[in-house]
Amino acid sequence: MTNPLLQTSTLPPFDRISADCVQPAIEQIISDNQSRIKELLSEKDGFTWQDLVAPIETLNDRLNQAWSPVGHMNAVVNSESLREAYNACLPLLSEYSTQLSQSHELFQAYQSIAQNESFLQLSAAQRKHIDNTLRDFRLAGVSLAKDKKQRYADIKKRLSELSSKFSENVLDATQAWTKQMDRPEDLAGVPDSALAAMQQAAKAKGETGYLITLDFPCYFPILTYCENRLLREEVYHAYVTRASEIGPYAGKWDNSDLIDEKLALRHELTQLLGFESYAHYSLATKMAESPEQVLAFLNDLAEKTVPVAKQEYAELQQYAQEEFGVQELKAWDVGFYAEKLRQNRYALSQEELRPYFPANQVIEGMFEVVGRLYGIQIEEQKDAVTWHPDVLFYQISLGNKLLGQFYLDLYARNDKRGGAWMDECRVRRCREDGTLQLPVAYLTCNFNGPVGGDPALLTHNEVTTLFHEFGHGLHHLLTLVDVAGVSGINGVPWDAVELPSQFLENWCWEPEGIELISGHFQTGEKLPQAMLDKLLDAKNFQAAMQMARQLEFALFDFKLHLEFDPASPRAVQAVLDEVRAEVSVVPTADFNRFQHGFSHIFAGGYAAGYYSYKWAEVLAADAFSRFEEEGVFNADTGQSFLASILTQGGVYEPMELFVKFRGREPKIDALLKHSGFS
Per annotation, catalytic residue among 351, 462, 469, 552: 469
The CATH number of the domain where 41 resides is what? 1.20.1050.40
Q: How confident is the model over 131-155, as pLDDT tens digits?
A: 999 999 999 999 999 999 999 999 9
Instruction: Give, as one character, the DSSP assignment of residue 643.
Output: I
Is the same domain home to 206 and 120?
A: no
Total-model pTM:
0.95
By the 8 A CB rule, do 438 and 405 touch? yes
Is the same domain home to 316 and 297?
A: yes
In a domain, 168, yes or no: no
Is the same domain home to 559 and 637?
A: no
Statement: residue 498 has pLDDT above 80: yes
Residue 576 belongs to domain spanning: 256-348+543-610
Statement: residue 160 has pLDDT above 90: yes
Give the confidence band of 197 by pLDDT, cuts at 50, 70, 90: very high
Q: How confident is the model over 278-304, as pLDDT tens digits?
A: 999 999 999 999 999 999 999 999 999
| Cα(133)–Cα(144) distance, integer angstroms | 17
What is the model's pLDDT at position 44?
74
The CATH number of the domain where 386 resides is what? 1.10.1370.40
Give the confidence band of 430 by pLDDT, cuts at 50, 70, 90: very high
Last residue of a domain, one of 610, 627, 661: 610
Average the pLDDT over 156-180 and give the result. 97
For 17, 30, 93, the CA distances from 23, given in Å and listed in that order, are 12, 11, 11
Is the same domain home to 549 and 406?
A: no
Is the same domain home to 376 and 513?
A: yes
Mean pLDDT of the chain: 97
% of the chain at pLDDT higher than 90: 97
Give the confidence band of 223 by pLDDT, cuts at 50, 70, 90: very high
- The backbone torsions φ and ψ at residue 492, rounded to the nearest 5 degrees and listed phi first, read -80, 125
In a domain, 455, yes or no: yes
By the 8 A CB rule, do 623 and 658 touch? yes
Statement: residue 431 has pLDDT above 90: yes
What is the model's pLDDT at position 676?
87
Number of H helices and E strands in the chain, helices first, is 26, 9
Average the pLDDT over 61-84 and give the result. 98
Is the same domain home to 587 and 654?
A: no
CB atoms within 10 A of CB 464: 17
For 52, 263, 268, 558, the CA distances from 567, given in Å and listed in that order, are 44, 13, 12, 19
What is the model's pLDDT at position 130?
98
Is the same domain home to 507 and 584?
A: no
Statement: residue 521 has pLDDT above 90: yes
What is the model's pLDDT at position 677?
77
For 394, 628, 665, the CA distances from 674, given in Å and listed in that order, are 32, 11, 18
- The backbone torsions φ and ψ at residue 214, rounded to the nearest 5 degrees and listed phi first, read -95, 5
In a domain, 286, yes or no: yes
In a domain, 166, yes or no: no
Give the confidence band of 46 by pLDDT, cuts at 50, 70, 90: confident
In a domain, 287, yes or no: yes
Last residue of a domain, one of 139, 161, 194: 139
In a domain, 75, yes or no: yes
Q: Residue 157: in which H helix or E strand, if any? A: helix 146-176
Is the same domain home to 378 and 515?
A: yes
Give the confidence band of 678 by pLDDT, cuts at 50, 70, 90: low
The CATH number of the domain where 578 resides is what? 1.10.1370.10
What is the model's pLDDT at position 446?
97
| Active site (annotated) includes residue 84 | no
Is the same domain home to 344 and 359?
A: no
| Cα(439)–Cα(425) distance, integer angstroms | 7
Give the confidence band of 399 by pLDDT, cuts at 50, 70, 90: very high
Q: How confident is the model over 630-660, as pLDDT tens digits?
A: 999 999 999 999 999 999 999 999 999 999 9
Q: Which residues pair with 398 in a beta bridge?
A: 401
For 295, 310, 500, 617, 654, the CA distances from 289, given in Å and listed in that order, are 11, 31, 21, 18, 13
In a domain, 154, yes or no: no
Sign of CA dihedral 155, 158, 163, 169: negative
Number of domains the chain is built from? 4
Statement: residue 400 has pLDDT above 90: yes
In a domain, 152, yes or no: no
Last residue of a domain, one of 610, 629, 651: 610
Is the same domain home to 603 and 619?
A: no
In terms of pLDDT, which residue wins out, 608 or 46?
608
Is the same domain home to 458 and 384?
A: yes
Instruction: Give, as one character, the DSSP assignment of residue 52.
Output: I
Is the same domain home to 42 and 93?
A: yes
